[in-house]
Amino acid sequence: TFDDVEFYPGDPIFGLTDMFNADDREQKVNLGVGIYLDEMGRLPLPQAVGVAEKRLAEQGASHNYIPMGGLPSFIPADQELVFGADAAVVAEGRIATVQTLGGSGALKEAADFLHVLMDANVVALSDPSWANHAAIFGGAGYDVVRYRYYDAANHRVDVDGMLADIRALQPGAVVVLHACCHNPTGYDLDAEQWVRVTEAVEQAGAIAFLDMAYQGFSRGLDEDRVAVDTFVASGQRFFVGNSFSKNFGLYGERIGGLSLVCRDADEARRVSSQLCKVVRANYSCPPAHGAQIVTTVLADAELRASWEAELAAMRDRIRAVREALTAGLHEAGVTDMDFVLDQNGMFSYSGLSAEQMQRLRTEHAVYGTDEGRICVAGLNEGNVGHVVKAIAAVVSR
């Protein structure tokens, strides 16, 4: 009954932003949610996105419904970014792609599609993984199991454990893999390890979902495609979910894509139609604005070059703040956190305990998740000193 409805205490990640906003201490730093902030601590709007929005406004962009599968011009643009300009799988028409509500929407679409059509009911997530992975697949009716991933003692990926756990999965299980910039740990696989993962997935008869929410934040748009390329080369069917939240700064527009690489064009056409059916049943059709922005930028050589340059600058800045953090920590006498330099993307698994993370918050107004994740993309010259002092204080006792 309604009398039994329990209060939802909030999301562990978004809840931190609420706590941060309510904190009235002057020197507070939000390293909770995965958003990229610039050197001034502001959420930047890529110049190309601003130009595209202006152009769309001048053209009086239509507010009509768009097709269930998404804006028609968005689909090839998304495929080109995810699979590469000259990808044979694109030319062969073997990919079924639909526009989604960000990366989360892609996960939900795939989860529903596989559950209903393929009877999939087990999902394997990395230990640890982004908290919403379990929530989305759990909500879609899956049992959640874990494969080993983070080796806490050695600050690296437990590749052998990961492979053994994937090989032991039951046929039809869905394996969610982080294509780059693993969330929350920041530890990624190299090219040779990806080959071994594709073999393990195939051996188990499982199906991979590559979550690529951070394309461009590790080494580059092309380089960050290594997992996608390796799965394509393996010849197996697999999903990729990609997001424009982070690399275009379009967080609130909810724009992303879901692609399933199929055996042939006919299969792709049939799968595509079923994905549209899932969209229709979930929310009818996706919103237009974000897709119009992305398509405008990617189709215009000048805007695209400008966006790519800004994305490269974001990546470089994140690398620089990782270095500033470790240099500062060394000066403060904390010399055992250099592993932060081996991690990729926005997140760093700091190795701090839940109690230390809570002390960072309560005693120093530095916000990260209880599991020890900090979003290094929120650091800048102006706040890194405070964060260093805070970490040094909580590790000293």
Binding site for ligand LMR (CB under 6 A): 13, 33-34, 130, 132, 183
158, 194, 224, 246: the catalytic one is: 246
Nearer CB in complex with ligand LMR: 13/337: 13
How many angstroms separate the CA atoms of 214 and 344, rounded?
10
Min dist CB 258 to ligand LMR, Å, is 16
Min dist CB 30 to ligand LMR, Å, is 11
Nearer CB in complex with ligand LMR: 300/370: 370
Of the candidates 41, 10, 15, the one whose C-alpha atom is nearest the C-alpha of residue 361 is 15
How many angstroms separate the CA atoms of 373 and 348, rounded?
6
How many angstroms separate the CA atoms of 199 and 212, rounded?
20
165, 211, 224, 307: the catalytic one is: 211
Nearer CB in complex with ligand LMR: 107/390: 107
∠ CA 258-141-120, nearest 5°, is 65
Active site residue 108: no
Min dist CB 33 to ligand LMR, Å, is 4
Whose CB is nearest to ligand LMR?
34
Q: Decide: 255 and 245 in contact? Cβ < 8 Å.
A: yes
Nearer CB in complex with ligand LMR: 129/296: 129
Active site residue 151: no
Min dist CB 129 to ligand LMR, Å, is 10
List CB contacts of 185: < 8 A, sequence separation 6 or more: 128, 149, 150, 343, 347, 349, 373
What is the DSSP annotation of 241-279?
EEESTTTS--GGG--EEEEEE-SSHHHHHHHHHHHHHHH
Nearer CB in complex with ligand LMR: 12/351: 12
Min dist CB 90 to ligand LMR, Å, is 27
| DSSP 8-state assignment for residue 355 | H
Angstrom CA distances, 204 to 22, 124, 167, 179, 208, stand at 48, 12, 5, 19, 11
Min dist CB 6 to ligand LMR, Å, is 22
Nearer CB in complex with ligand LMR: 94/254: 254
78, 108, 112, 130: the catalytic one is: 130
| Orientation of helix 102-118 relative to helix 265-283, angle to 10° | 110
Active site residue 246: yes
Identify the H or E element spanning 348.
strand 347-349
How many angstroms separate the CA atoms of 103 and 253, rounded?
12
Residue positions annotated with a catalytic role: 130, 211, 246
